[in-house]
């Protein structure tokens, strides 16, 4: 079975996502990217609410770099991808793309902080989740996963 290098989430463009010309409003792309990141975690068995309830953990975007390459339009069917590129004790870096029928519309590099849900201060990612994330394949095998220490996998 081939290894999936990136997670993809489908998004349909509705009127509410567009400006008067039927083109996706630039800020709406942030919502598309957020939904895909949330569903990426959920697909791995770690819903946002469950992480908050069980571990007092939330993920917050710390920084984002976006390149808008082509516009998306009303009724487009988009694929929003998520690929982990770095995993540290209390932060993640994620590469994201938005495509329409294979055409690249947007790229984003996202820095995410792990925070205490009650104090909004940096918090370590739970050990089991951290190890799981560090074992994910990368989109480009030439990129090396940056880690703070060797992965310790429980038997």
The length of the chain is 155
CB atoms within 10 A of CB 3: 6
Is residue 19 among the annotated active site residues? yes
Give the CA count within 13 Å in the CB-facing half-sphere of 155: 0
CB atoms within 10 A of CB 80: 25
The residue from 17, 19, 53, 148 that is catalytic is 19
> Which of 126, 128, 17, 35 lies closest to 79 in space, CA to CA?
35
Active site positions, annotated: 19
């Amino acid at each position: 079975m081939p290894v999936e290098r990136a997670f993809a989430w489908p998004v349909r463009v509705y009127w509410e996502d567009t400006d008067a010309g039927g083109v996706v409003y630039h800020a709406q792309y942030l919502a598309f990217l957020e939904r895909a990141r949330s569903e990426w975690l959920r697909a791995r068995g770690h819903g946002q609410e469950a992480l908050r309830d069980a571990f007092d953990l939330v993920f917050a975007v710390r920084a984002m770099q976006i390149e808008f390459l082509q516009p998306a339009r009303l009724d487009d069917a988009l694929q929003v991808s998520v690929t982990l590129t770095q995993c540290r004790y209390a932060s993640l870096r994620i590469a994201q793309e938005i495509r329409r029928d294979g055409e690249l519309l947007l790229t984003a590099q996202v820095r995410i902080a792990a925070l205490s849900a009650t104090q909004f201060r940096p918090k370590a990612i739970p050990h089991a989740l951290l190890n799981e994330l560090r074992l994910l394949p990368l989109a480009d095998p030439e990129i090396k996963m940056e880690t703070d220490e060797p992965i310790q996998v429980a038997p």
